Each structure stands twice: as structure tokens, then as C-alpha cells.
Amino acid sequence: MQETIEIIKSGGVGVLPTDTIYGLVGQALNPETVARIYRLKKRSPDKPSIVMIGDLAELEKFQLAPNKATLKIIEQFWPGPTSIIFSPKLSFRLPKPSWLRELLRKTGPLIASSANPEGRPPAQTPAEAEAYFGNHVDFYHDAGCLIGKPSTLIDIKENGAVEVIRK
């Protein structure tokens, strides 16, 4: 994983298993990396992104400071395969696997989009991802066949209500 961490820190983009499905990932705070992921996916820049974080404190890097009521709600879902909308453009997920949180603490927050071009099914294997992206990404990590679904997506309203956007 050390090589992967170095590639990501230098602005690289790759495919790795997340807590749900294979993701196309790169540094979320690097505008060039984010733009590259959107180009690879052929995704509209108007569509929001999911950012994986290694711990709750990383929300501060995005000028986000959830209040106590919101934190209580967050604790019900994190760590786990639920992404929470914090702005019209960004939602965040604190994944459950400890190895992934450790990687995120070393790389910083990662934009994580399903490993597929817009409108195509998510890659279930690195070979499928490679068929989509070829040598246009910097690494592929193989965790076998991942048959999963994208993360659940929720929106926490100001009144504390939780709206499920995607299950």
C-alpha cells in the first residue's frame, strides 16, 4: 500500500476496493485530480461527488463543523457504507474497514466515485475497471470480485430529519 499512498499523494488516480464497490479515487483537495476523475468517468462537473475520510476531524478541511445534533445522527451511520450530504456538491463517507480508514489517514480525503464511466455498470473486478480506463489510471488494486451496491446516500435536514436519497 505504500506505493499506492505515494501515487495518490503525488496527484495520481487509481482503482481500489472501498467498503461498497470498486472506486475510482484520488485526492479530494487536488482540483486537477478531481477534474481528471470527472474526465475519466465522462461525468458532468455539475454532479456532486462523494469524499471518503479517515476520521471525522477531516470534515474541517472542507470548512464543515456539524453541530451536536447532526453529530448524534452521524454516529448512527459511521463508520459504514452510508454517505452523508453536507452541501449540494459534496457528500462524505467514513468507511468501516479499518485498513481503508488507515489509508485515508495517510493520503487525506479521497474523492471516490464508482469505477465506471457515467451510465455504465460499476466494475466488479479490476479487469472490468481496466477495460473501462486502461492505462489512463495510475494503479489498480485487486480484492477479487466485489458484487455490491453504491453507498446509501442520506441528507440530514436542519430539523434533524434524515432523508434517504439512495438506498
Q: What is the CATH number of the domain that holds 160?
A: 3.90.870.10
| Burial degree of 80 (CB within 10 A; 0-12, 13-18, 19+) | middle
> Residue 22: pLDDT above 90?
yes
pLDDT at 118: 93
- Please state, for a pLDDT cut of 70, what percent of the chain lies above it: 100
Q: Which residues, in sequence order, are CB contacts of 74 under 8 Å at separation 6+?
A: 56, 66, 84, 156
Work out how many domains the chain is built from and give that number.
Answer: 1
The per-residue DSSP string of 86-131 comes to -SSSEEEE--S-HHHHHHHHHH--EEEEESS-TTSPPPSSHHHHHH
pLDDT at residue 149, rounded to an integer: 86
d(CA 23, CA 129): 9
Predicted TM-score (pTM) of this structure: 0.93
Query: How does pLDDT run across 29-45, given as a tens digit for each residue?
Result: 999 999 999 999 999 88
SS3 55: coil
With cut-offs at 50, 70 and 90, classify the pLDDT of residue 123: very high
Which pLDDT belongs to residue 103? Answer: 97
* Single-letter amino acid, residue 117: P
According to the model, what pLDDT value does residue 119 have? Answer: 92
Per-residue pLDDT of 85-95, as tens digits, reads 988 888 999 99
Kindly report, residue by residue over 146-161, the tens digit of the pLDDT: 988 889 999 998 788 8
Asked if the model's pLDDT at residue 1 lies above 90, the reply is: no
The predicted pLDDT at position 89 comes to 82
Rounded alpha-carbon distances, angstroms, from residue 75 to 44, 63, 131: 32, 19, 38
Name the residue among 14, 165, 35 with its Cα closest to residue 103. Answer: 14
Q: Which residue has the higher pLDDT, 127 or 150?
A: 127
| Residue 131 belongs to domain spanning | 2-166
